[in-house]
Every structure is written in C-alpha cells, then in structure tokens.
Amino acid sequence: MNWFQKPKYPIKEQLPRIEHHERLPDGAVELARTTDPNEGNTVLFVRQGDHLSLLRAVSRLRMGTIPYYRCSQADFPLGVLPWFADTLTEFRKPPAQGGLHAGAMTSTDADVEGEMLCIQRAMNAGPGVGGYAIVNRSRKDRSVHLEEHFSPHRITFADNFLYEAGLLDLIKDLGEKYRRGEL
C-alpha cells in the first residue's frame, strides 16, 4: 500500500521563500496587511511578480519566556483575488439556487492563470469555528520534505475572520484593483 499522494497537475516552480514578514525580498510588494482575530496572527498579501504570496506570521513567547516566530507562505497567481471572492459566493449558495450539492466540502478545480485552484470547507479553521481553505494544487507545500509525497499550498481562514473581521471585503477590494490593472 502506498500512502504517498501524487500531484494531479504539473507542479510550478516555487516562488522565492519569504522568511520574515517584515523583511520582504527584492521586488516583493506588500499589498495589504491584517490581523486574524482568532490567534492575533499577522496576515500579509504580498505581490511577487505576477503572483500573490499569502503570509501568516506568528510571533509569541513559548512557556512565557522563549521567543517563537513562524512565517508560513502559500503562493497563488494574482488572479486568485477576484476568483476567490466570486467562487466563495457560488460555493455558499444553496443547491436550489445553483450552488453545490448539499454536504459539498470542495469546489471543482479551476484553472486560474495556469494554476489549478479550489476552495474547501474547513471544519476547524479557528477556535470552534469553521472556515474555508484556498488550495493551490499546482504548487507543492514547502513543509513537505519527502520528494515522492505531494501536498498542495493552502491557506485557511475562519468564517469570523472572513465575514466579521472584514477579510473578505479586503480580498474583494484587492480583486477589483487587480481587475482594473491597479496592482
């Protein structure tokens, strides 16, 4: 039995790795920054050429005295911004209004600027709250070190972050700027 997951699509080359959210590589541009209300993590939208790196920076003390820092990165084409806002709206429609079948947990894969993306429902995206993950099936997660195993880039946002704390409005605004060629 082989438990290694294989990619469904051709894998894109990795974008430059961002080690710290306050030290972006040359050419990278911060588009927006917000704070996740659940954990207090900083979330950054960073343009790297024609791509978007979504960063989640965690900085805190462990056991009260040991500094801890982690900056995770998920990469997507810039077109993810309007695509996510539009697709999430369709994903949430009831079946009677043309939405996915009852109980659907993932959207169909969509080609967004040459990368295969989908949205998945997340049952535990924050403390006791659900949410949604943006999954890029065309890029291998950097934390997977086994060459023969594939896990896609993904980032998950809790419902209350998207809807109550304004993240979806921020994504819609950036998506409209992208459509107008302003990013």
pLDDT at 6 over 70: yes
Total domain count, the chain:
1
**Which residues lie below 8 Å from residue 108, measured CB to CB, with a gap of 6+?**
118
In total, the chain counts a number of residues equal to 183
> In the numeric block, which tokens belong to residue 26?
């040359």
Count of beta carbons in the 10 Å neighbourhood of residue 50: 11
**What would the pLDDT profile of 9-67 be if each residue is shown by its tens digit?**
898 999 999 999 999 999 999 999 999 999 889 999 999 999 999 999 998 767 777 78
In-domain check, residue 23: no
- The better pLDDT of the pair 121, 146 is held by 121
> Which CATH number fits the domain that encloses residue 109?
3.30.2450
Please tell me which residue, 105 or 137, carries the higher pLDDT value: 137
Q: Domain for residue 21, yes or no?
A: no
Whether 12 maps to a domain, the answer reads: no
Residue 34, class by beta-carbon neighbours within 10 Å (0-12 exposed, 13-18 middle, 19+ buried)? Answer: middle
Contact 151, 4 (CB under 8 A): no
Residue 105 lies in a domain: yes
- Three-class DSSP category at 115: strand
Domain annotation covers residue 164: yes
Both structure tokens of 96: 């009677």
Confirm whether 69 is domain-assigned: yes
DSSP at 16: P
Whether 9 maps to a domain, the answer reads no
Read off the pLDDT of residues 75-105 as tens digits, 9 standing for 90 and up. 999 999 999 999 998 877 776 776 666 666 8
Structural domain span for residue 69: 29-179
Determine the pLDDT at residue 68.
Answer: 83
pLDDT above 50: residue 165: yes
With respect to residue 142, please indicate whether it lies within any of the assigned structural domains: yes
